[in-house]
């Protein structure tokens, strides 16, 4: 399970939350860096999404709650970054289309490429 989705602990410090939020999103940077977008803008987007996940989930005690507010931003960010990778030709698909397909970022050897 992705650490940002685990039930415990239920709250994180700002630094812990930033790490938990950035880990799944930062994997998109090398994929997007191979495009005209470049790594600087990809890093900026990941930083913005990560900070926003923490900002919307901050509690009165200053800790970051690990609930729907926190993980929805990360999930949405992953969907956004996947769509960007797709639009820039840096994606692959899983499935034969009989029951839909999954679009994933990056190009993998032996996996159907979009094109």
Structure confidence by residue, pLDDT tens digits, 49-70:
999 999 999 999 999 999 999 9
Instruction: Report pTM.
Output: 0.83
Tokens of 40: 């600087």
Q: Fill in the DSSP letter of residue 5.
A: G
Where do the structural domains in the chain lie, given as residue ranges?
A: 3-105
Tokens of 35: 């495009």
Structure confidence by residue, pLDDT tens digits, 82-109:
999 999 989 888 877 788 888 888 766 5
Distances 94 to 7, 16, 59, 100, 106 between C-alpha atoms, Å: 29, 33, 39, 9, 12
**Could you tell me where the DSSP H helices lie in the chain?**
14-26, 28-33, 38-57, 68-87
- Output Rg (C-alpha) for the chain, integer angstroms: 16
Structure confidence by residue, pLDDT tens digits, 17-53:
999 999 999 999 999 999 999 999 999 999 999 999 9
């Amino acid at each position: 399970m992705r650490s940002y989705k685990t039930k415990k602990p239920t709250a994180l410090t700002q630094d812990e939350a930033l790490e938990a939020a950035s880990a799944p999103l930062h994997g998109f940077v090398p994929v997007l860096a191979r495009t005209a977008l470049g790594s600087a803008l990809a890093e900026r987007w990941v930083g913005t999404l990560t900070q926003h996940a923490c900002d919307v989930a901050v509690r009165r005690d200053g800790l970051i709650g690990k609930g729907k507010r926190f993980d929805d931003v990360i999930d949405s960010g992953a969907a956004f970054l996947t769509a960007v990778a797709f639009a820039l030709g840096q994606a692959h698909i899983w499935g034969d289309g009989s029951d839909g397909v999954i679009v994933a970022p990056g190009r993998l050897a032996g996996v159907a490429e979009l094109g």
